[in-house]
Structure 1
Amino acid sequence: MTTHFKDAALRAIAIERDAIDALNERIDDHFIKACEVIMACQGRVVVTGMGKSGHIGKKIAATLASTGTPSFYVHPGEASHGDLGMITGQDVVLAISNSGSTSEVLTILPLIKRMGAPLISMTGNPDSVLAREAAANLDVSVAQEACPLGLAPTSSTTATLVMGDALAVALLDDRGFSAEDFAFSHPGGSLGRRLLLRVSDIMHSGDRIPKVAEDTTLNNALLEISLKGLGMTTVVNRAGNMVGIFTDGDLRRTLDHPLDIHATPIQEVMTRNGKTIFEDQLAAEALKLMDELKINALPVINRDGELTGAINMHDLLKAGVI
């Protein structure tokens, strides 16, 4: 019985793999035309489809929208009962139907034509009514469904989804859509935070910056480290310019030598020319630098070299950068 499960699964995967491979020959003039129509669109791409095609259509619409092509899904049945008002002549309609003759989709075709919205179809039947009415038809026909009964949409929905991804990626590439553009569409995700969050957004600034004068005694510098809670303090001269840094690691190394913490000035034990990061750099860059240097905190400066803040690993963790 176990072998039967495995054989059935492998057969399904093989059939769907063949369906995807067959799409290579379908990236043709119709595909190029579809891309050109969408790139010329002044509105949005409105995706529609019934049943499983509708589910796939929702995913395609979401992928288009998150990769630089404004898009949304409209249920064709609801379109006939008011939602057609969501479509304008400035939009492009992407209609999905494996048979190319889905009644709910065909019902709204004359109205789409009347408003002047270009139509692109994805069908498994290039000779269907839907395909013939479209400015470009993307052929997603398959030799067979992975379902052994040949009934449940399996290979056909996979091929349609892959064709939709190919369309979205081709458009993304032509638009010059960048990783930062993608992040703006996903500000709540970890990728968005890594690509959008700047050091200045999460750093400690003003009175929250751990800072002591260079003639401060070691014991008072330790009080500043404890008070500010960043595991380090910056050291500044009389002009307020940073001249060094003293960290928990520096403390461990200092205690290996006999000295009077009440009399030793911090400038004698601090690390000079310590690593810093610019306030306008990505928080993800701060994380990378800390990982490379095996440190837990960084002073933050502006492009004029002035001390403006401090950041540590906990800040990055709290912000969701890690």
Structure 2
Amino acid sequence: MSTALSLEATRLLAMARETLQIEAEAVTALAGRLDERFADAVRCLLACTGRVVVTGMGKSGHIGRKLAATLASTGTPAMFVHPAEASHGDLGMITPADVVLGISNSGESDELSAILPLIKRMGVPLVAFTGRPDSTLARHADVVLDTAVAREACPHNLAPTASTTAQLALGDALAVALLDARGFKADDFARSHPGGSLGRKLLTHVSDVMRSGDDVPRVTTDVPLMGLMREMSAKGLGMSAVVDAAGQVLGIFTDGDLRRVIERTGNSTDLRALSAGDVMHPNPRTVRADALAVEAADLMEASRITSVLVVDDTGALVGALNSNDLMRAKVI
């Protein structure tokens, strides 16, 4: 039994490695064939004042949906239109301001071929991904990008495998070239992904997650230590800001500072005689309310602290936050 399983596993692994090798070779060959036509395709899409309409049947259509999504999330407005549905009304989604990107390994898909003359009649530029530069799709296209592969990874050389991998890789290359040409930055990406971790990191500001108003623990320098401890307990942040009469931050006092005060004074000092000004840590780390929340997280990590005070441009206290606030906002 174990020998049979071992032999089966050996064959499965061999098939997997051969598939990966064939597809890697297809992508490598594709990279070697890139020429000025790729730059023409990029320029064509950059000049588009409407949307890039991606279309394709079957497995090429699945690749097209992914490419449309990648383009849209990286600064190039795009959508997918199914070629069969286009013949039944969805062709109205395409406007003269658009560019059509057709994907077909054979270039002879009936559904796609049926709408090509209509696309050309509208005067809409057409970019083609095809494995046959002499195909119907290629003949109608303004720019043809050759996605031909030597063979499919399928042992029968039938199922689209290496060819769709080549289409996918070329689509990614096109999207990356476009985002670079547009000067698309990380914060632009974040605006397209507000629900993702990058979006939260680049779009969430300290003001979005900080405690404010009466939720911020604060005392003046003359408040007795016991009053300071009551403020800390009531607000539940494990610390309190120490401010002057105008609200300017003078210091901070934390649970850790309390332990250190007790260890330092022992029985030699009546703790009730101490004031907030006596025990505070002066010149604490602060952050602006308009800073990114991730900057506050970086400051806390670098300083090895778990909470930070938030100030305005005059140094007045406006809020506070701790690591739990950042975790709830999924910034860290």
- What TM-score do the two structures reach when normalised by structure 2? 0.95
Q: Does 1:2 align with 2:12?
A: no
Unaligned runs of 5+ residues in structure 1 are: none
- What TM-score do the two structures reach when normalised by structure 1? 0.98
- Aligned 8 A contact 2:53 2:94 in 1: yes
Moved more, 23-32 or 263-272: 23-32
Distance 2:301 2:86 in 1: 53
SS at match of 1:255: helix
* Count of residue correspondences: 322
The equivalent residue for 1:152 is 159
Q: Does 1:125 align with 2:142?
A: no
- Aligned 8 A contact 2:117 2:140 in 1: no
Q: Does 1:268 align with 2:278?
A: yes
Letter aligned with residue 315 of structure 1: D
Distance 1:261 1:94 in 2: 76
Displacement after TM superposition at 1:26 (Å): 2.8
Q: Does 1:251 align with 2:261?
A: no
Displacement after TM superposition at 1:142 (Å): 0.3
Displacement after TM superposition at 1:217 (Å): 0.8
Letter aligned with residue 189 of structure 1: G
Letter aligned with residue 126 of structure 1: P
Distance 2:179 2:283 in 1: 44
Match of 1:279 among 284, 289, 292: 289
The equivalent residue for 2:5 is none
Distance 2:145 2:221 in 1: 71
Match of 1:315 among 299, 316, 325: 325
Cα root mean square deviation, aligned: 0.9
Displacement after TM superposition at 1:218 (Å): 0.9
Distance 1:154 1:162 in 2: 12
Distance 2:206 2:97 in 1: 41
The 5 A counterparts of 1:92-131 are 92-131=99-138
Displacement after TM superposition at 1:239 (Å): 2.4
CA deviations on 1:221-266 (whole Å, 9 max, x unpaired) are 1111111111110001122211000011111111212333322101
Letter aligned with residue 7 of structure 1: A
Distance 2:318 2:166 in 1: 54
- Aligned 8 A contact 1:26 1:138 in 2: no
- % of aligned pairs identical? 57
Unaligned runs of 5+ residues in structure 2 are: 1-7
- Aligned 8 A contact 1:242 1:307 in 2: yes
The equivalent residue for 1:212 is 219
The equivalent residue for 1:55 is 62
Runs of 4+ in 1 over 4 A off after TM superposition: none
Displacement after TM superposition at 1:72 (Å): 0.7
Distance 2:80 2:271 in 1: 69
CA deviations on 1:36-81 (whole Å, 9 max, x unpaired) are 1110000000000000000000000000000000001011001111
Distance 1:135 1:252 in 2: 75
Distance 1:262 1:277 in 2: 32
The equivalent residue for 1:21 is 28
Distance 1:26 1:152 in 2: 23
Distance 1:302 1:134 in 2: 58
CA deviations on 1:80-109 (whole Å, 9 max, x unpaired) are 111111110100000000001111001111
Distance 2:291 2:251 in 1: 21
Distance 1:260 1:132 in 2: 93
CA deviations on 1:193-220 (whole Å, 9 max, x unpaired) are 0011000111111222111011111111
The equivalent residue for 2:91 is 84
Distance 1:119 1:205 in 2: 55
